[in-house]
Amino acid sequence: MKFLSLISLIFCSGICRAQSNNLLAANNDDNSILWEVSGNGLTAHSYLYGTFHMVCRDDIKISSACKQAIKNSGKVYLELDMDDPAMVFSGLMLMNMKGGKKLKDLYSPESYKRISDYFTDSLKTPMGLFQNLKPMFLLAMLYPKMMPCTEVTSVEEDIMRLAKENGKEINGLETIAFQASVFDSIPYEKQAEELLNAIDSMEKSRKYYSLMAAAYANQKMDAIEKLMNDPDAGIEDNQDILIDNRNKNWVGQLKAIMKNGPVFVAVGTAHLIGENGLVSLLRKEGYSLRPLFNK
C-alpha cells in the first residue's frame, strides 16, 4: 500500500536507565529509536527519537530514558508544531486539491462507486463531504480500519504532554503549508490510484501494519528499514519527496538549532533509518550519534 510511511509514519516504546549526571546508557546495538547527538562543537547533547504517527493507545510505552532526554533538553521539535491551534485551521484550508479538482474527476464511474460505497458502508461517511480533498488525506482516514483497536492516538501526543509537564517549548521543523505542498507534488491521479488500491487490499494492509507495529515496539531498526523498502510501503516512487529531501532540509535546520542548546527531536522513525536517514546524515556532518538503551 503506497505512501504508508508519510501518513502513518513511525514509532516509540520502552524503558531506560539514566545515570545521576543525566547521561543515558548506550544500547548494545543500533536497534533503538532513541539516539544521542554530540560532538562537532555542541556544548550539550541533543536527542533524536523515532515516533509512530498512528498507533493503538495501549501500545504506547514511553521509556524513562525518553522522559529523561526531554528533561535534559531545552526545547522539543516535532515535524509540525502540533501545539499551535492555528496549524489545525490552516491545515483544513490546505487539504483541498488545487485547480478546482474533484474526486469524481479522478476515477471512472465504476471505480468512484467502489470508493463511495466503502466510505458509506465501512466508514459511515458519505463521500459528498470530501469531493475536494486530496486523496492522500482520505487515505489517512483508512488507517483505523487497519488497526486492531478502537482507541487510536499518536506517539507525538504523549511527547507533547511530557514536554508541557516539563515546561519545554514545542516547535515544528515544517509548516502545514509545506507538508501540503508535498502532497501537491505527487499527481492527484497517482494519489487516487493508491486510495483505491488501499481499499481493494485492506486485508493486506492490515498485515503490513501489524508487521510494522511489531517491528517498532521491538525497536528492530533493520526490520523497519526492510519493511519501508518493501513495495507494499509505497514510497519507492516518491522516496526523495516523502523522506530524503525532507531529511536533508531538517539536517540543515538542526545544525543551527543544536548550536543554541540541547533539543529533543521526535520525527517518524522512517526518517532515522537508511543511508539518507537523519542518523547517517548527521554523522556525515561530523556529529557523533549513539543509540541509547530504551527498554
Single-letter amino acid, residue 56: C
Beta strand segments in the chain, E: 34-38, 46-51, 55-56, 75-80, 152-153, 169-174, 263-268, 288-291
**Which residues of the chain are under the pLDDT cut of 50?**
1-21
Q: Name residue, grid cell 521491538.
A: 218
* Structure confidence at residue 65 (pLDDT): 97
Chain-centroid distance, C-alpha 210: 16
**What is the pTM (predicted TM-score) of this model?**
0.88
| pLDDT tens column, 77-132 | 999 998 887 777 777 778 899 999 999 999 999 999 999 999 999 999 998 889 99
* Structure confidence at residue 239 (pLDDT): 84
H helices of 134-239, in order, are: 135-140, 143-146, 155-165, 176-184, 188-200, 202-217, 221-229, 239
Phi and psi at residue 72, to the nearest 5°: -70, -15
